[in-house]
Chains A and B, each alone.
Chain A
Amino acid sequence: MKKFNFHVKPIGLLDMLHFKKMVPRRRAILQSGSLDPITAVYGVNRLAQSLHPKQQKAVVSAIIPRRDANTYVLRADKLAYFRAGQYVSVKLKIGGAVTARPYTLAASPARALEGEYEITVKKAQDGFVSDYILKNWKVGTEVTLSGPEGPFSYEPLRDEKEVVGLAGGSGITPFMAMAYAILDGIEDFRLTLLYGSRTKADILYADELERICAATDKVKVIHVLSEEKAEGFEHGFIDAELIQKYAPENYTLFICGPRAMHDFLARELPGLDLDEKHIRREFVPAPASPTYFGSYAGDASKVFTLKLRFLGEERQIPLRADEPILTAIERAGIAAPSRCRSGECGWCRSRLIGGDVFVPDSMDGRRLADAGAGYIHPCSSWALSDLELEIFPE
């Protein structure tokens, strides 16, 4: 570019001086600071810490027995506030294994500020952790939890004012938190809940739900029984027809329940003419075997070897092809990070150094660059060969 014969009129020698003043000026400013202890922790940082603690300790303060399930009231001086619908990851040492499971916070967020959480654990078929908790947790048992996690919450900027909740079994828990939050004025939406149970006796939170519905007209519950016919109850599975029967004109669907319920609904929902925006699904943990997925082409009966690296150590451990890789690590007593155990949250993100894995599309929550660079989420990946993997313990 052509050079200007450039003079900015009033600029002259003075400007050189201005330039020279820069350092003395800054020096003086730097000496104007206080002698208070230096810190990087301000109010916002404390807010972040209290909303998202890395770990929380609580004590079981009461147990409410239910059919094939218990509700545990957990107490501590301080527990993190949460958004209705979020879960905590419960950390456990069971025999030689170190593991964790996500459980939804089922009480009102308001109670968290008073140091109280509630979780409900339902007996699962061959349930390793649920069995352990139901047998072993007593009043006074100390428990270790993560902070609240998960995006299964109502968001007024995104969702309709009317929500239709579809719950199956223990999938009622996030809706309990939402219903209580509505009652406490923390959330503002109308909830129509279609709640599927096997029989009347299997309904969790029957009394509580009745009380909430009596106290607010913003929450409505329709019980759907699959194995019992009874007056005042719908019968069968929650299907498109039933949803249409109870749904208002514009609504957002929230779904939480077992994998089988999600699979069933996947065939029903197209009949409803809802776009993706209007369907919110809670995460679903890995199925009992990868053979569940049609795209699985491995041999689930095999046992491979996992060469595991962590913190400069190296261990060889057996690796069953039919279990998520995370389970093999936990069986060996090595604490691997996890939260959702559904492939979505990324907490278990690990570096695959060698070997082949199966990652079902429906559980592949990896970041694009991670998938390209060989990272996996072991909670939702299964071995197809011997593997070498680096994990990043917390």
Chain B
Amino acid sequence: MDRQYDIIVIGAGNGGLSAAASACCRGFRTLLIEQHNLPGGFATSFRRGRFEFEPALHELCDVGEPGAREEVGALIDSYGAKVDWVKLPEAYRLIITGEGEEPIDAVMPFGKQAYIDRMEEYVPGSRESMEKFFYLADCIMAANAAVAAAGGKADPKVMMREHPDFLKCANYPTAVVLRRLKMPLKAQKILSAYWCYMGVNMEDLEFGFYASLVHKYIVNAAYIPRFRSHELSVAMDKTIREHGGTILYNTLATRILMEEGAPVGVETTHGTFYARHIIPDISPNAVFGDMMDGGRDLPEAHIRAVNARKIGGRGYCVYVGLNRTAEELGVREYSYFISELSDTVKEQELAGTFREHPMQATICLSNAIPDCSPPGTCIMSFTTFFMKDIWSGVTEREYTAKKREVAEKLIRDFEKATGTSILPYIEEIEIASPATLARYAMVPQGAMYAYSCGEGDGLMARLQMLDEDQRVKNIRFASGYGPRLYGYSSTYMGGDMAVKLTMKDMKEENYEKV
């Protein structure tokens, strides 16, 4: 088979699929290497009995309606991938239950005005601060667009002149800005629900990022593919082939071949393939470590820089097929955030323990896609994450019981918070722990959230340090570990961005296509 390519993409997760499609569509000879036997990484599906489960996706933002696509929807359309998108019914229901907490049970709608109005119902007097919040979110979206239009390198003077409000608030922790907006505490809590999607508490997560996240979800609504994420990934596979790309499944990349400080090829379990430009959809830990002798030949500063990164939330999810309908069970919403606490700092701390684990993000797929399972049944999943690497200490023999212990707590917490009964109706159950994520996507520590974007490693800093962060010439990351961060939309955008940066690298060395 052909051994010579312009670009080799390692890993067919969201970022890798997007990078491969972007590269093929631009006429590069592209090879996509994936160790599993199907595309998607986390963006996949699996079957048990009568049910087909979604492993990861709760909601994908930035898709938009046909004809009025947002950024990510437009990108996927531009690749020629056909996906049957389903619009989600509501934003979320937040339930705070713990002792000593003011109880909260809020169902929040999509749409800016509807969201502000609903907040005013739950928290009278919150309107003004909410409007200010969305005003700032608009400013941030506008500034982001300006930075993107300037190719990531916006002129500071222009920014100060045109986007002063952005500069004033974007880099502060979200909680600081919400307090300064004099937002009532309860409204702050309701607005903070999405922190679970980043795994970084509100005293740490930068406002610029959080506000744009809320804006994307609330203003533009969110979507999922009808036949689970696997539909999206299969559609991407198809379009990559149609544009002349080559995909190898069941093929593990084992080593980066280097010459004079730049890659020339990739060794795999199916032989060596050559290319001068590599786009990994995996972690720098894997690429610069396990695939390059632990980083032995890298400058010290680079080794330090990789080792300094903090692995983000380690994923955990329980999937159940139930032999009752959602209606029969009294499960009314699609998306739930449930926690014993409203203090995200404490939540993040307790998320480093097995027993006190406080929060979950729960989905009832059937409330978005009623026929996703046979009549008389429904599908739910209960997701949480661990902020410490505690699963590394679990032995093989303890493993199943440990998984089950967490699963039972999550389901019981849900039952308690919603007054429903779930456990007696489980027809199929599967539990994914960090070890499961490590198995299927080979992510370090079973991370679902790549490198944390807290503690100074946020989006804005990463984007400003794009060049410095390129530790080895001609290697550009598409994964959630890259400059655009984790999440579906981020990795889709990140894959395309990695190709654009690769083209810049090519230009600098007058690269000629093979």
Contacts and interface: CB of A to CB of B under 8 A. Distances in A.
Interface of A: 1, 3-4, 6, 8-12, 15-16, 18-19, 22-23, 25-27, 29-45, 47-52, 80-81, 83, 113, 151, 155-158, 186, 275-277, 311-313, 337, 344, 346-347, 349, 365-370, 372-373, 375, 392-394
A377 to B, nearest CB: 11
B147 interface: no
11 contacts: A6-B165, A30-B308, A32-B308, A38-B295, A42-B392, A44-B445, A48-B446, A51-B435, A157-B404, A157-B408, A372-B231
Contacts of A83: 400
B399 A51 contact: yes
Given A15-B168, A29-B308, A158-B427, A313 B1 contact: yes
A30 B270 CA distance: 36
A35 B304 contact: yes
B445 A42 contact: yes
Contacts of A311: 1, 248, 270
Interface string B436-476: 10110011111000000001111011101100100000000
A26 B167 contact: no
B307 A34 contact: yes
Chain B binding site: helix, strand, loop or mixed by DSSP?
A: helix
B254 interface: no
A40 B437 CA distance: 13
A26 B461 contact: yes
A113 to B, nearest CB: 7
Contacts of A52: 439
A44 B391 contact: yes
A347 B448 CA distance: 24
B52 A368 contact: yes
A55 to B, nearest CB: 11
A276 B50 contact: yes
Interface of B: 1-2, 37-38, 45-50, 52, 112, 131-132, 134-136, 138, 160, 165, 167-172, 177, 180-181, 225, 227-228, 230-231, 234-235, 238, 246, 248-250, 270, 282-286, 288-290, 292-296, 300-301, 303-309, 314, 323, 389, 391-397, 399-400, 404, 407-408, 411, 423, 425-430, 434-436, 438-439, 442-446, 455-458, 460-462, 464-465, 468
Contact of B228 (A37, A186, A369): A369
B285 A39 contact: yes
Given A27-B465, A43-B391, A47-B435, A157 B423 contact: yes
B283 A368 contact: no
Contacts of B428: 158
Contacts of B160: 16
Contacts of A349: 37-38
Nearest to A81: B396
Nearest to B464: A23
Contacts of A81: 396-397, 399
Contacts of A43: 389, 391-393
B295 A37 contact: yes
Contact of A31 (B48, B290, B305, B393): B305
Contact of B304 (A19, A32, A313, A366): A32
